Amino acid sequence: MTETIQITDSHCHLDFDVFDANRDQVVQRAVDAGVARMVTICTKLRLEPQVRAIAEAHAPVFYAAGTHPMSAADEPMASVDELVTLSQHPKFVGIGETGLDYHYTADSKAVQQQSLRIHIAAARETGLPLIIHARDADEDMARILSEEHAKGAFSCVMHCFSSSAALARAALDLGFYLSMSGIAAFPRSADLREIFAAAPVDRVLVETDAPYLAPPPHRGRTNEPAYTVHTAKVGAEVFGMDWPDFAAQTEANFNRLFTKAANYKAAA
């Protein structure tokens, strides 16, 4: 029997209510497909207990927490101390998602930028990777990441990367990672695939952002972590690699960035 190739869904949202009726089955389908680990992301800190509970209930699931930029103006401002305290949980492996989104919420630019800098400080203090959401804010994002990195190094992944080649270069020049979502598998995303193809393959992760952005052949349906495989196989084509080799590379990349998840040992 052929061993199933293992990959990681580095970003999903298993707490969303679309999964309430079948969360256990969704996790199991992912494992059956070869998605051995999932990082479920809390986007509002008041919901952290529910997200933490999902990670605690499912061995393959880890979690991260932060304030999503689209919620930054409506939620209490996070503090570095609050994020550092949350990070003490053994399955808490990243800070965020945070970032900038000027597509629908440009009126809260200043609050978003303040929140982003707080999350960066927490990532710097904890040593955990920052998880960035960036949309229609490339110049400010590149500037803030560069300014903050100059104050003190931190690690970072540009989640669901679909921004410009310039922002990709800026992030990569800082030593950061780009994460490939189902968007990169869409037929009309040739330009985005070219951006990934120009990136070092040892700086690429894969994700679903489930329940959003299902890749073909599931486009238009609820996305789930099992579908990471479809995006990752497109990634293998983008880099001209055999599927097992690309899967192994993304696993090595994830383990290098998310060291806490890589070193996690379940309590006996």
Q: Confirm whether residue 11 is marked as ligand binding.
A: yes
Gap between the Cα atoms of 93 and 120, Å rounded: 14
Q: Confirm whether residue 133 is marked as ligand binding.
A: yes
What are the structure tokens assigned to 186, written together? 């869409």
Q: Confirm whether residue 149 is marked as ligand binding.
A: no
What SS3 state is found at 38? strand
Q: Where are the beta strands (DSSP E) in 70-168?
A: 92-101, 130-135, 156-158
Gap between the Cα atoms of 264 and 112, Å rounded: 32
Q: Confirm whether residue 97 is marked as ligand binding.
A: yes
- Work out the burial of residue 202: count CB atoms within 10 Å of its CB; fewer than 13 is exposed, 13-18 middle, 19 or more buried: exposed
What are the structure tokens assigned to 88, written together? 């003490």
Q: Confirm whether residue 139 is marked as ligand binding.
A: no
Binding residues for a divalent metal cation are 11, 13, 97, 133, 159, 209
Binding residues are 11, 13, 97, 133, 159, 209
